[in-house]
Structure 1
Amino acid sequence: MSWVALPAMAHPHGWIDYRVAVMVDDQQRVTALEQSWKMDPFQSLTMVEGLESVTGEESMAQRLDALGHEIAANLATQHYLTHVYDGEEELTLGGIEDYTTRLDDNRVEFSFIVTLAEPQPLSESLRWQVYDGTYFIEFLYDDQIERPVELVNAPPQCHGEVVHADPDPAVVARVSAIDITGETPEGIGRLFSDTGVIKCQDA
């Protein structure tokens, strides 16, 4: 997955700092994941320079909106790079409901809500991963904020946690040696993906 051209280097070629808010309805069902993705400084600079070079009278805000539309359309063909599981069963997603694109401290931030096709009971069996299957872009939970995973409208005894990936060192070495012209096996990004989980204490 790439929205910009990047120079040759070992995988991954860029990163995204992200956070997730799990949306819970009044029936204590998980309905959607609200995500915010902040592109790394180089990706952001390249994107902004591209937007500035486009001829026309549109404001930067309008151009960012157009970029968001392009990103959303691209994600729709890639399962939104979002995978939600109930146990070992992967759940079907609905689609993107809302999205915005803005600049935050000179970094492009894309925020959106991706729904589940069917609401799921709030349960510790639910978990999710966000990743680029080719590992071209690395997704990292934003460590600059206190809670990169939140539950919205959940009971107070429930909260979200991050389980960090622990890939085999041999896999790490093999993937890091692949340059920009090399191909990684589709799905390899999952091995490097942190997992969001739900923890609920007894009431």
Structure 2
Amino acid sequence: MNRNRIFPAILILMALVLLPVAVQAHPHAWIDLRISFERDADGQITHMLHHWRFDPTYGQYLYDDAQEHQSGDTPEARLQGLATEILDNLDEYRWYSHLKVEGEAIAIAAAGAPRMAMEDGLLQFRFRLELETPVDPALAPLEYKVYDPTYFIEILHEEPHGTRIVDASGLVDATCQAQLERPRPDPAMVARAMALDYGASVDYDLGRYFAERVTLRCD
């Protein structure tokens, strides 16, 4: 992310708060994404760790809103309240995460408490998901996408290490590779998104046309 870019401050999660400004076109907020998959001692992927970095303007808005409206005795406690609220709200959207093996969807669930902190002037959000059925990526590739279905938010992997796989000891697994495929939406779909006003009715799965796809393979 270029930190010198100025982004409009708007709603990132519809279940949170509404800003008093109507902004034209989708998307309205941006997230840099890093994903870590965890393999157990048997080589199966069991967990997916999300690390989000919000764009500067919206991240500051969320921070200020948390300090004003969340309970807690410290700024850190109030941020933690916001993190918990966001994670709960994302349940309805499957935490923006869509995993498949050989075309079959993999069910997921939140695992443990999320974390949120302001680091180097940018708001960071981390949370962990558990795969309800562990996956052996040496037997079949694991594919995933992370996207906001309404495309209010654009979520793109942070370069150059947007995805990694760690083994049971927490070290990067050199036997695995992640291949990222950039989206190539139809120009008509791009024009449709650009024409949408904030608050306009949106097809629920609009965001999938703008989502990056990552394929994981392990030896």
Highest relative contact order (Cα 8 Å, sep 6+), 1 or 2? Answer: 1
Change (3 A) 1:62 1:155: closer
Q: Give 1:80 shift.
A: 1.0
Change (3 A) 1:57 1:28: closer
Q: Distance between the aligned counterparts of 1:100 and 1:155, measured in 2?
A: 24
Q: Give 1:57 shift.
A: 6.5
1:24–1:122 CA contact under 8 A, matched in 2:
no
Change (3 A) 1:112 1:55: closer
User: Taking every aligned residue pair, what percent have the same amino acid on both sides?
Assistant: 27
> Structure 1: which amino acid aligns with 2:35?
V
Superposition TM-score, scaled by structure 2 size: 0.84
| Equivalent residues, number | 199
**Matching residue within 119, 126, 135 for 2:151:** 135
**Matching residue within 29, 44, 48 for 1:33:** 48
**Matching residue within 167, 171, 191 for 2:189:** 171
> Structure 1: which amino acid aligns with 2:190?
V
Q: Distance between the aligned counterparts of 2:65 and 2:109, measured in 1?
A: 31
Where does residue 190 of structure 1 map in the other structure?
208
Q: Distance between the aligned counterparts of 1:47 and 1:32, measured in 2?
A: 27
Q: Distance between the aligned counterparts of 2:70 and 2:134, measured in 1?
A: 44
Moved beyond 2 Å, runs of 4+: 1-7, 51-57, 94-98, 154-157
- Between 41-50 and 62-71, report the one with greater CA deviation: 41-50
Task: Specify the SS of the correspondent of 1:45.
Answer: helix
Unmatched tracts of structure 2, length 5 or more: 1-12
Q: Which has the higher strand share?
A: 1
- Between 147-156 and 128-137, report the one with greater CA deviation: 147-156
Q: Distance between the aligned counterparts of 1:5 and 1:105, measured in 2?
A: 26
**Matching residue within 55, 59, 68 for 1:53:** 68
> Structure 2: which amino acid aligns with 1:12?
P
1:23–1:31 CA contact under 8 A, matched in 2:
yes
Q: Give 1:51 shift.
A: 2.5
Q: Give 1:156 shift.
A: 2.6
Change (3 A) 1:26 1:57: closer
The answer to whether residue 149 in structure 2 is matched with residue 149 in structure 1 is no
Q: Distance between the aligned counterparts of 2:126 and 2:91, measured in 1?
A: 14
Q: Distance between the aligned counterparts of 2:83 and 2:68, measured in 1?
A: 17
Q: Give 1:150 shift.
A: 0.3
The answer to whether residue 42 in structure 2 is matched with residue 23 in structure 1 is no
Unmatched tracts of structure 1, length 5 or more: none
Superposed CA RMSD in Å reads 1.9
Change (3 A) 1:155 1:36: closer
Task: Specify the SS of the correspondent of 1:77.
Answer: helix
Where does residue 29 of structure 2 map in the other structure?
14
- Between 166-175 and 123-132, report the one with greater CA deviation: 123-132
